[in-house]
Each structure stands twice: as C-alpha cells, then as structure tokens.
Amino acid sequence: MSRAMEDQAATRRRPAVPILLYHAVTETPGTHIAPFAVPPSAFAQQLDLLLEAGYRCVTFGELVAAEVAGRPLGDPDDGRKTAVITFDDGFADFATAALPALRERSLVSTLYVTTGWLEGGRDRRPGPSDRMLDFAQLPGLLAEGVELGAHSHSHLQMDTLGAAQLRDELVRPKELLEDVLDRPVTTFAYPHGYNGPRVRRATRQAGYENACGVRNVLHCAGEDVFAVSRLMLRRTTTLDELSRWLEDVECRPAGRESWATRGWRAYRRARAVARRRPGSVYA
C-alpha cells in the first residue's frame, strides 16, 4: 500500500466499540440464568483482558452522548479504544461480585434493572430464582458512578405486546427508578434484545433517549441509538473469543435487520397471541 493510500485508510478508519452485556456474575446461578452467568474469576480475567488490550470504559450514556454531539469516542482523533460494560436484569451479585471487581480497576458500567423483579418494590412479577438487588441499594450504586437504566417491569418480549401493555412496560420502570434515584432515567435495554420499529418508537415516546439491543456484533457510531448492538457474554465465552471481539476492527456500513430476525419475531408474536399472553423466558 502506498503512503497516500495508507493515509487515506487511516482517515477512514473508525474503530468499532465493544459493548459487553453481562447478566449474573456468580458460581452458583439459578437454572434459568446459568448459561448466561459468568463466574467471578472469569469476570476478573475478562476485565483484565479489556485493560491489557488498551481500552478505557465509559457508561452507555456517555458513549451515546458523544455520538449525538458528533464526536464519537474511539475515533482516530480521540486516540483511545473505548468499550462499555453493561449488565441486565439486576441480580444481587452485581453489588457483591461485579462491582467490587469493577471498582478495583476503576471501571464504570451501566446497569439495566427489571423493576418488577427487584426486592423491596411494589407489584412484584415472577422472575429468576436468584436473589435480586433491592430498590434501596440503587441510590448507593448511582453514587458509585454506576449508570442506571430500565429493563422493563416484567421482562416480557416487548415486540409481542399490545400498545397499552408496551407503554406500561416502558413508563412504569422509568417512574419507579426516577422516584428512587431522584433523577431522570433516559436509557432502556430491551428484554432478550427483542425490538422492532414499533417498540423503538414507543421507547422514544416514553421519554427515553437511547436503548440497547443485543445482536452480538460490535457497535459503530451511526447505528440507531434506539437499537444499539451489544455482545453477550455467556458462561462458555472464552478469553480467546473475547480477545477476538476486542481486536481493533474497523466499522462497516450497518446491515439491515435480517429476514431470519423478522421471521422469528413474527413467529413469537403469533405464538403470544395463540397463548393469549406475552412471551417470556422466565414465566
């Protein structure tokens, strides 16, 4: 490659941002969450790998705010590789296992809680057998720099819900969290990552500014801020796999939602109608 071509490639180069998605961090998960629970020792190794690979972490809100302002983090001008660490559901081990490991390494994170699953809340919903965080712990987490977001109230598949229930699953957790945190809650994570144009529109209308899906691909600036891609860490995820995700890869133009994804959503919606209740992994 000539020097001119190298220079041109460097200006075009736009590193992708890994947004990691964790659930429970424990050696003793309940049956349902077991495939997605990472042992504390593996979690610590993964955080060390992230730091060794030269990443700095920001909260999800900070990442999106920089992109909306037209100064995406991780750009060549910015000079540093950026990653985001997120947690879904609100397992109690976030406070006892994940946070101490993050604190030790001065890493920030974003935690999305299912408000109907938390201890100390009103209108509890059926959930995992594992211990969940208590509402009373949330202000303390916020004070430690943890960004808090909503992950619905009942953890249903949002794209199978009717309009009224969809709105309730968006508005109720926002109000409950804002009451306890005494500040606006502007970020949402779709349960199971399931969303579509109707769900994204309702999320925006409910007052959120951005939202996470899953997709298991790296995030690039320019992606819909209401369907941001994350990479799900599982019990079986190896350090080699994580290492491959963390390699400094270039962003490519975003692809459209695949026909397989759309077909799967149509199937789940039809099944929810047939059962006369919304689908959920835990129900």
Q: Which residues bind Zn ion (CB under 5 A)?
A: 88-89, 191
Question: Tokens 């009717």 belong to which residue?
Answer: 162
* Cα gap 276→119, rounded to integer Å: 28
Instruction: Evaluate whether 104 touches 111 at the Cβ level (below 8 Å).
Output: no
| In the complex, minimum distance from the CB of residue 147 to Zn ion, in angstroms, rounded to a whole number | 17
Which backbone phi and psi does 104 adopt, to 5 degrees? Answer: -55, -30
Pick 15 or 191: Cβ nearer Zn ion: 191
Q: Which residue is nearest to Zn ion (CB)?
A: 88
Number of residues written out for the chain:
283
| In the complex, minimum distance from the CB of residue 69 to Zn ion, in angstroms, rounded to a whole number | 29
Structure tokens given for 268: 């789940």
| In the complex, minimum distance from the CB of residue 88 to Zn ion, in angstroms, rounded to a whole number | 4
Pick 67 or 89: Cβ nearer Zn ion: 89
| In the complex, minimum distance from the CB of residue 71 to Zn ion, in angstroms, rounded to a whole number | 31
Pick 81 or 172: Cβ nearer Zn ion: 172
Pick 210 or 280: Cβ nearer Zn ion: 280
Pick 82 or 229: Cβ nearer Zn ion: 229
Instruction: Evaluate whether 107 touches 57 at the Cβ level (below 8 Å).
Output: yes
**Which of helix, strand or coil describes residue 13?**
coil
Q: What is the dihedral of CA 49, 54, 60, 64, to 10 degrees?
A: -150
Pick 72 or 193: Cβ nearer Zn ion: 193
* Cα gap 254→131, rounded to integer Å: 38
Instruction: Evaluate whether 211 touches 188 at the Cβ level (below 8 Å).
Output: yes
| In the complex, minimum distance from the CB of residue 143 to Zn ion, in angstroms, rounded to a whole number | 24
Write the burial class of residue 145 (CB in 10 Å: 0-12 exposed, 13-18 middle, 19+ buried): middle
Pick 151 or 265: Cβ nearer Zn ion: 151
* Cα gap 78→89, rounded to integer Å: 32
| In the complex, minimum distance from the CB of residue 9 to Zn ion, in angstroms, rounded to a whole number | 39
| In the complex, minimum distance from the CB of residue 122 to Zn ion, in angstroms, rounded to a whole number | 20
Instruction: Evaluate whether 280 touches 116 at the Cβ level (below 8 Å).
Output: no
* Cα gap 196→208, rounded to integer Å: 16
| In the complex, minimum distance from the CB of residue 167 to Zn ion, in angstroms, rounded to a whole number | 19
Pick 161 or 251: Cβ nearer Zn ion: 161
**Which of helix, strand or coil describes residue 230?**
strand
CA nearest neighbour of 116 among 151, 140, 92, 86: 151
